[in-house]
Amino acid sequence: MSLRFLSPISPAKRLKSKRLSIHSDPGGVPVTVYLSLGSNLGKRDELFAKAGLLLEGRGLRITAVSSVYRTAPEGFRWQPSFLNQVLGAETSLTPFDLLDTIRQIERKLNRIKLFPNAPRTIDIDLLFYNNQVMDTPALKLPHPRLHRRAFVLVPLAEIAPDFRHPCLGLTVREMLSSVGTGGVKLWR
């Protein structure tokens, strides 16, 4: 079964199913989150290490770290290859507070958005916030394109192969088998 033919549930149904407000608070009870790290500028492995330390210093407890993978760029092809990694973590931050934290860390590590798919020192994407579903202008959960991205699914399958996508109903392993691993090479 190919994922490109699956369509996630509509945004209206997503909001009705598990609505979170900007002020949602998981009640201080940690939730599991998965973050994707990507970089193709600078000392990429050092940037990943710095990002992990900054995340831990701002309300996350990292519980799982994938290997690092090398991939060709998508979209804008005339740029260096990317390194990609996925982190599993626990946090009591709300989804919007976590997004703000991620953006602050990207700025601290000199992320500049010149144009879509531009080279970058660091890119941190929130893939899953537990099993929450959100569709707002600022934040969409789960990440809307993760099920089509081998460079996300390969490292995610390494640390959470049985995690189930709350909209598609498929595990990470099942999503990966649908897109394949082409172009994703183990770096370290």
**Catalytic sites, residue numbers:** 111, 120, 123, 125
User: Rounded distance, CA 51 to CA 89, Å?
Assistant: 13
- In the chain, what is the straight-line distance between the N-terminal and C-terminal CA atoms, in Å? 31
Q: Say if CB 3 and CB 179 are below 8 A apart.
A: yes
The pair of structure tokens assigned to 12 is 């209206």
- What six digits make up the tokens of 121? 């020192």
Q: Is the dihedral of CA 58, 120, 142, 164 positive or negative?
A: negative
